[in-house]
Structure 1
Amino acid sequence: MTSRNSFWASLKENNKRRIWIWIVSGLLWFVYYPVSMAMLMGRKIEHNHMDNLTGEAAKLRLTEEVGEWLEVGNGITGILVACMAIVCAIQGFSYLYSRKKVDMYHSVPVKKSHRFAVIFTNGVLIYFIPYLVNLVLAVLVAGVSGGMNGTILGQAAIAALMHLAFYLGIFALATVAVMMTGNLIITIFATVIFLGYELAIKLLLETLEMRFFSYYSTYSADTAVYSSPIYYFGKAAFTISYMGEKIGSGFGDAFPYVLAGFMLAVIFTCIAYYCYRKRPAEAAGKAMAFDKTKAPIKLLLTIPFALGVALAVNSIVVSGAAFVIFGAGLAVIVGNCVIEVIYEADIKAAFRKKYQILISGGCVAAIASIFIFDLTGYDAWIPSPEKLQDAVFLLPNAYNGQSYMDENLQRVSIEEYALSKPGVTDIEAICELSARKAVEGEDGNSAYIWVDVAYRMKSGKVVWRSFPVSIEEDELLDRITGSEEYKKTIYQAYDDTAYERMAGQEVEEVIYTNGFRVVNLSPEEVQTIRELWKKDMENMSYTDFRDEFKCGVIDIEWKVRWMNNSYYIDNTSFDVYPSNTNLRKYLEEKGIGTENYVDIEQIASITVTNHHMEEEQRLYEERRNEMGDAEAQLSVDREDLSVTKVFTEEEQIKELVNAMYPSRMNTWWKRSGTFSNDYEVEIQYKNGEADSSVYRGSTNARLIADRIPDWLEKETAYQ
């Protein structure tokens, strides 16, 4: 009891010395919450009067505004909480910057643990009590104004808890910075570095991997920042913001991040207390409180700095290893010297620790060598069949036009969605394809596609790689893309369970387009279209997509409920190929032709421009030897080489239409030379449809190389 009374007495005494920051905190949250809420409600009520909104519509406008202001995802609130945490941490222990104050405080017969607990606890109360009181006042203001409901009240309560976890994490981390430094400016720098160091290192390593590893996949980037309270708060806020009215389940999903935030705060608090216990009194006023930490911190700062400078120089100079080495070396020297000057507060101390410059340089060279010479064998790695469980394949462009949602109707990235599904289990095909990485120009073949693969090992580890595969790898790519696992991964609508979630949403629009024309379909047809498309897709694989020319695309926009009363648009695309016999038959029965892109009877003329690319290249090569590369490029004008002709005869139009492929239709996975690069085509319709302001199609096309009429080259010959 005596100990408890002593603690509260010390707490009150400490409060008297910190009265000004209590006032600042109280005023800040008073203005931010109840005052701002009253102003917001007054403005929105006035808007309701102006718009003649009453009843539920008027209440909805108010609740939406209150929800946005009080929700945990409000960025302004997060910034204020973080700033408050840093200020309170520095102000509470600021006496450590003065040797006089340190002597005075330490002359009082109070245990260090007791003093630390008092100052630390007060630092939390200075924030949380004014915050909570004013949050309650804001809720009351919103309630009286008619802008409060149970969901928003729950959001406000969860926001208070999460802001507390966030505050404690930042506050404890800033306290660690105070304990390890001896003056205000260095403390602020240290706090910023502590908050962002892990993220900076991860970005640096990712950049090095992208620069030097040929088969690095961007999907392998680790976005988690385990040492920063900002990461856990951001993840929790993002998770809850997507749940809307499902506030309970939303907090359940976010709770692990909130708990991790509290645990991180506990860890930082323990570190801060340990440093406080060990901190020497003579550290006041110095840059660093502990001599033993100077060298490690210098290394941890100069090494990534030098590597970053080397990467920056490398991105600027086209070819100059000497410049890169010079830049890295200079960064090592400058970084070490600047930090040493800060440590000693003496410009003469710049080169005092020369051996540390050598150590930093050696570490930079060693780390750079790992990436430059691939000493880890990153690019040579191929999964062992006996260790591989399955693999997720992401072929480029196969998922373009698609968007993905999880079981909570939350939009997710393609890799996140794909990893939530079973992968391809054809181990033999996976390993063989991984071993057959294509090399441009090898065996006369320069056509290849890049594939991103997530290898899921039996140990639970996931390894990403991105590598080129020859476009002629028919057998292996057919085995992989023809599997049920692959189709359920890439095409969300192919998975019955995933589609059921989509089908429960409102259909905003359904259209069929073949690039030249757009036809509206009924939302009631979506279920039938999906069933027919899936039936056709069961027998399709890579070679079908490569060898066939797409007939058209069915685009569906879903209106997905999100947040309290908001929506977002989710997209699903069904590509229609000649092999989609069931779906094509259905469209034909609806009067939508899929055999031809355009009706020849509707065409008045076709304009063809031949750019004569070979002639352009020949002239460029010829002039480059005489005047240099840049001048040669400028001297060759494509317009001078282009020949444009308009064709109106029915037979010529018929042959051109047979060779046309709509410009708006993609050309994914097609062999090199499938389409001519010389010709540009434009259609002119008899009815002037293309000139209408409501026309939604396109009049431009490219030509399929092996279908180009023999007479076209002569008609558009360059003179």
Structure 2
Amino acid sequence: MTSKSSYFDLSLIMDKLRKSPWIITMYSVILFFAMPVFLIIRMQNISSRMAQNPDSYIPSVISGFFSIDSKTIIILIIPAAVIAAATAFYYINSKKQVDFYHSLPILREKLFVSNYIAGVLCFLLPYTVSLILSVIALWGTGFISYLNPLLAISGYLFNVLFYFVIYTITIFSMVLCGNLVVSLLGTVVFLIYGLLFYLVYTEFMAYFYKNYYQIATLESLARNVSPILDFLIATTDYSFSGARIICYVILTVALTALSLYLYKKRPSEAAGRAMAFKSSRPIIKYPIVLLCTAILGLFFMSAGGGHIGWMIFGFVCGAALSHFIIEIIYNFDFKAIFNNIKGLAAFAVLFGLFICVPAFDITGYDSKLPDITEIKSVRLRITDFNRSSYFANVQEISNTNYYRTRERQMLDKLDLADIKNIEAVHLIAKMGVLNGEEGLNNSDSTIGIEFELKNGLKIARRYRNLKSSEIEPYIMGVFDTQEFKNKFYAMYSIDKNNINQVNVENLYGSSGNDRIAQIIDANRIGSLIDAVKNDTLELKGKSMKNETPIIALNLVNRSSDERVNWQVNVAVYPSFTQTLDVLKSFGIRNPEIISADMVDSIQIYNYEYEKYYYDKAAAYSQAVPTRESMGSPYEISITDKGEIEEILKSSIPERAVAYNPFFKRYDGYRVTVMSSKFLNGYNETFIFNEDLIPQFIKDKFPEMNKIN
């Protein structure tokens, strides 16, 4: 007689829970220590920090525990969901148990749903209880007023959704396979396959295509290939969209429905087999063979010094070994190693045709360039601009998430739609394409470009085959536009009324002795910001090549408790007449700049010289020679006032370099300027302009000729 109860059987659920008390007990103990106990310890240890800044620190700690920012539960959920699913559906991979359960007068649908619910409750019950105990613990420690209920509820639902995703994937693997070990291996494959495929994809693209730009697709692809990675990187500042949540709900429901359908179709005799359905064997096998083939190809290519011959050898090994291993697992017989050789041969032919596409750039990836009339806007990532102190603090201002790189941030921020900028960037991209086709190997500049077309498509490329001397006029043309400066300089994106302190610093000053003045008057700050904005708009790229900033304005936003919320650095050049006049009206004059008569000596350390001998010794498996044995020093000391003056004219303080993206820094020499007269003691690092290094410096290192 068949039970007529709908959907599930409560007695079956309770029976399943009674037969697996160890799971609930284990989860309860682990979550008890990971949640309420840990929270009590954490709250007891923050008394000192609480006294200093309770209104900001305490909420951040509690939010980090209860919201989606907490990754402890996410990490615990992964094994918890796998174990619960494997336990709830273990019987389908045991011949004795499956015969027993399927002989009961219960519909398979009800049996499936009952076991599914039991596995969910194994985690949901102890997790819910632990969360309630955590709230009680928070109340008991006196911090309950800092709890944001919405964040706590969203964090709870977020973790429950993740549990359902991992749990359902494991169940799908259990139903698809007929052996517990194979099922667990299948679960691992389903969970990490997308991530591994993504990594292999990016490596292949970087190997075959000169202009591939990984960062442009990093965020969009990485989040969508693995639920584990997606949930781990989610934070309150970088949370799921509603559409993403719906997608995961649909995925869970679809996999559950598919698992139920396969469970109904699954023969009882499938218990004990590697795969419950023979038709699923090639569907599972060849994607794995594809991934293994690619991974071994990349491995041998990397080990073999980048030669494509080693990559082909790896392809052959990867395809053959993965095919053999999977056939052995499928048949539980070593003799099955040569089964389905025809299928392997067909795969090899298709894979060979597939790999020809990137190997010979059949699609024209590297030469693809959109027509300028199709471009809506362009995004730029310029290496030299990324180090600028103007841009360095944008992350602190905008409060963006911590997982997006500054490179991605720069692409997003420098979104230019002015036709002049589009034309200039398009010309730079065209140079990158032509130089790549001609095999230019003396390039010294790299630029990342993302074209957004009017039809919504995006084309991203990273051009490495560029000469800075050729593209510099176009970069300067872009830099000189108001559109670029408004988006690049952080000071244009903030309200001057939110700046309550400006520190005026001497860029020629020594560390700890560089502050000239501090401005806190709101009216003065407002007039100063207006002046520096106007001067910056007038600043031209050409003048920056030959001009050194002398002052840094540190714009600060402080809270009432003196905590710095954000700060932005702005450089002041000698040509900033409005800014300097405003500072002068405040009684702040231009800072003193070190001169040759103040300098005691300059030490110059030759990194290129050291590197030459180090590489030479490594090439011949010799010990790195000492300075004395080389016959020419690593380091020289300059005391001649004339030579010191020449050095000061051709170098600038290291702090000032970060403010000038057009300064061509040369890192082969480390220049240390020492003075006992300037600023009551001075010992600072200067950087040479690559085009202005005095000849007498090169002459003092005679062995440099061997390097060049």
TM-score strictly above 0.5: yes
Structure 2 partner of 1:32: 31
Give the Å deviation of 1:339: 0.6
Q: Is the 8 A contact 2:84 2:119 kept in 1?
A: yes
The size of the alignment, in residue pairs, is 681
Q: Is the 8 A contact 1:608 1:644 kept in 2?
A: yes
Structure 2 partner of 1:488: 486
What secondary structure, in the 3-state scheme, does the structure 1 residue paired with 2:460 have? strand
Aligned partner (choices 284, 303, 323) of residue 316 of structure 1: 303
Q: Is the 8 A contact 2:595 2:648 kept in 1?
A: no
For the pair 1:605 / 2:601, whether they are aligned, the reply is yes
Q: Is the 8 A contact 2:385 2:661 kept in 1?
A: no
Amino acid at match of 2:191: L
Structure 1 partner of 2:426: 431
Structure 2 partner of 1:531: 530
CA distance 1:689–1:582, shift in 2 (3 Å)? closer
Structure 1 partner of 2:684: 698
Deviates more, 1:88-97 or 1:422-431: 422-431
Deviations 1:488-536 (Å, cap 9, x if unpaired)?
3332323xxx212x86377696644247666224253765554333212
Structure 2 distance, partners of 1:515, 1:444, is 42
Structure 2 distance, partners of 1:59, 1:130, is 32
Aligned partner (choices 86, 91, 94) of residue 90 of structure 2: 94
The TM-score with structure 1 as length reference comes to 0.81
For the pair 1:519 / 2:514, whether they are aligned, the reply is yes
Structure 2 distance, partners of 1:405, 1:718, is 45
Structure 1 distance, partners of 2:187, 2:371, is 44
Give the Å deviation of 1:232: 4.8
Structure 2 partner of 1:410: 400
Give the Å deviation of 1:224: 4.0
Deviates more, 1:317-326 or 1:371-380: 317-326
Q: Is the 8 A contact 2:68 2:155 kept in 1?
A: yes
Structure 2 distance, partners of 1:223, 1:282, is 40
Q: What does 1:281-430 correspond to in 2, within 5 Å?
A: 281-318=268-305, 320-400=307-387, 401=389, 402-405=392-395, 409-411=399-401, 413-414=405-406, 415-416=408-409, 418-419=411-412, 422-426=415-419, 427-430=422-425
Q: Is the 8 A contact 2:50 2:57 kept in 1?
A: no
Deviations 1:337-375 (Å, cap 9, x if unpaired)?
001000000000001111122133223323332222212
CA distance 1:700–1:690, shift in 2 (3 Å)? farther
Q: For structure 2, list consecutive stretches of 5 or more residues without a partner in the other structure.
A: none
Amino acid at match of 2:309: A
What secondary structure, in the 3-state scheme, does the structure 2 residue paired with 1:661 have? strand
Deviations 1:68-108 (Å, cap 9, x if unpaired)?
43333222211222322222212111111022322222223
Structure 1 distance, partners of 2:326, 2:41, is 54
What secondary structure, in the 3-state scheme, does the structure 1 residue paired with 2:445 have? strand
Structure 2 distance, partners of 1:476, 1:700, is 29
Q: Percent identity?
A: 19
For the pair 1:457 / 2:450, whether they are aligned, the reply is no
Q: Is the 8 A contact 1:409 1:560 kept in 2?
A: no
Aligned partner (choices 211, 224, 227) of residue 226 of structure 1: 224
Q: What does 1:120-131 correspond to in 2, within 5 Å?
A: 120-131=116-127
Q: Is the 8 A contact 1:209 1:216 kept in 2?
A: yes
Amino acid at match of 2:204: L
Structure 1 partner of 2:498: 504
Amino acid at match of 1:430: V
Structure 2 partner of 1:16: 15
For the pair 1:551 / 2:549, whether they are aligned, the reply is yes
Q: Is the 8 A contact 1:493 1:572 kept in 2?
A: yes
Deviates more, 1:389-398 or 1:441-450: 441-450
For the pair 1:103 / 2:108, whether they are aligned, the reply is no
The TM-score with structure 2 as length reference comes to 0.82
Give the Å deviation of 1:441: 13
Q: Is the 8 A contact 1:178 1:187 kept in 2?
A: yes
Q: What does 1:574-593 correspond to in 2, within 5 Å?
A: 574-586=570-582, 591=588, 593=590
CA distance 1:151–1:488, shift in 2 (3 Å)? farther
Structure 2 distance, partners of 1:149, 1:654, is 64
Amino acid at match of 1:483: T
Structure 1 distance, partners of 2:608, 2:265, is 79
What secondary structure, in the 3-state scheme, does the structure 2 residue paired with 1:285 have? coil
Q: Is the 8 A contact 1:440 1:447 kept in 2?
A: no
Structure 2 distance, partners of 1:341, 1:283, is 17
Q: Is the 8 A contact 2:12 2:114 kept in 1?
A: no
For the pair 1:197 / 2:196, whether they are aligned, the reply is no
Q: Is the 8 A contact 1:198 1:225 kept in 2?
A: no
Amino acid at match of 2:425: I
Aligned partner (choices 666, 672, 684) of residue 682 of structure 1: 672
Give the Å deviation of 1:178: 0.7
Structure 2 partner of 1:74: 70
Q: Is the 8 A contact 2:396 2:567 kept in 1?
A: no
Structure 2 distance, partners of 1:654, 1:717, is 22
Amino acid at match of 1:432: L
CA distance 1:440–1:155, shift in 2 (3 Å)? closer
What secondary structure, in the 3-state scheme, does the structure 1 residue paired with 2:211 have? coil
Give the Å deviation of 1:634: 6.3
Deviates more, 1:659-668 or 1:214-223: 659-668
Q: Is the 8 A contact 1:213 1:371 kept in 2?
A: yes
